Amino acid sequence: MIQSLQVFRGFAALAVVAHHAVLSTGAFVGAVPAEIGSILGGGYLGVDFFFVLSGFIIMYTHMSDSPSIGNVRRYVAKRLVRIYPPYLPLSIGMLLLYAALPGVSESGGRDYSLLSSLLLLPADLPPALSVAWMLVHEMQFYAVFLLFYLSGRWLAGFFVLWAVVILFSNITFTPTGWARYPLSLMNIEFMFGVLAAWIVTRSGSDVIPAGWLAAGATLAIAMLAWISPDNLRFVRLAFAFGLALIMVGFALLEKSRTLPWPATLLLLGDASYSIYLIHNPLLSVTQRVAGKLELGSLVALLAGVVISVFAGLIYYMLIERPAVGFFRNRQRSIGPRLNTASN
């Protein structure tokens, strides 16, 4: 894995935690000062990084795969193992919680889809674990990427057609219900990541990373300055394209040198999925407690972020890493037997 992108994945997770911490603190403790709230509230853009990075990782990891049944099996198994073992314990926990205490959510009651909660399939209602909406998009994209194993040109052609349909739909109306998943502009962010990985793998050693980094940073910063509730969707898409260019720059940079990222930041990146999964329900608890203790909003905000990050690290070390490792080992032991049987 390209270490810079792993580090940035950790920062993106922190940004999303901060965003939700501002919301939870405002709901259960008190309003966060406007200046801090406006800065940390923009942490939702960390999700855009995750979308672009997911597309990048899939293409970068599987670009050299040949079109064979064995590679398709390995691809599917690898994706399922990466997503479900860390996710399902928390999702099932939320389902049980809502069944036992229907009014536990802030709104006093929350509708959710059982299909989406357990299988991460598109549905009219959201998953019980609220942040899992992003994983529904991930699973959708993983399914579309199977076209790569038929033909890279088929995948590229489908991407172009899909992007045109998405853009037309979002210009003419706002997709709702289950259609909000296949017609979301964020699917194009996955495509940006795939394109970024293709550029990196096709670039020679003479390509200068600084140009990509400068172009990406300029575009991303410009979009951050321009973004507002009135232009959020399309400006956010341009921001994601800037992130994709930055990824190209750092990936090319690491082709020629190793950047000395601290081990702590790399660990944070490793644990980013667990942090993302666990932080929102945990913030609902920590900020309720902070409100009962009558803590100040800034103290409560900081406490919520710190507790969420440490809980995510613990979940990663005790649940995610062992579970993913177990299923990957099973996958390796079963793989040769499947290949022998097919021969």
Q: Given this model, what pLDDT does residue 108 score?
A: 54
Residue 339 CB coordination number (10 Å): 12
Pair of tokens at residue 309: 């990050």
pLDDT tens digits, residue range 135-186? 999 999 999 999 999 999 999 999 999 999 999 999 999 999 999 999 999 9
DSSP 63-79: TT--S-HHHHHHHHHHH
Q: Could you read off the pLDDT of 231-246 as tens digits, one per residue?
A: 888 999 999 999 999 9
CA distance 272 to 164: 32
**Using 50, 70 and 90 to split pLDDT, how confident is the model at 110?**
confident
Give the separation between CA 275 and CA 272, rounded to whole angstroms. 5
Does pLDDT of 341 surpass 70? no
Predicted confidence band of residue 194 (pLDDT cuts 50, 70, 90):
very high
Query: Inter-axis angle of helices 46-62 and 133-145, to 10 degrees?
Result: 20
What letter would DSSP give residue 31?
A: P
Would you place residue 57 in the very low, low, confident or very high pLDDT band (cuts 50, 70, 90)? very high
Inter-residue contact 268 to 8 (CB < 8 Å)? no
Domain boundaries, the chain: 3-342
Distance CA 34, CA 40 (A): 10
pLDDT at 263: 96
Q: Does residue 276 surpass a pLDDT of 70?
A: yes
Q: Is 120 left (phi over 0), alpha (psi -120 to 50) or beta?
A: left
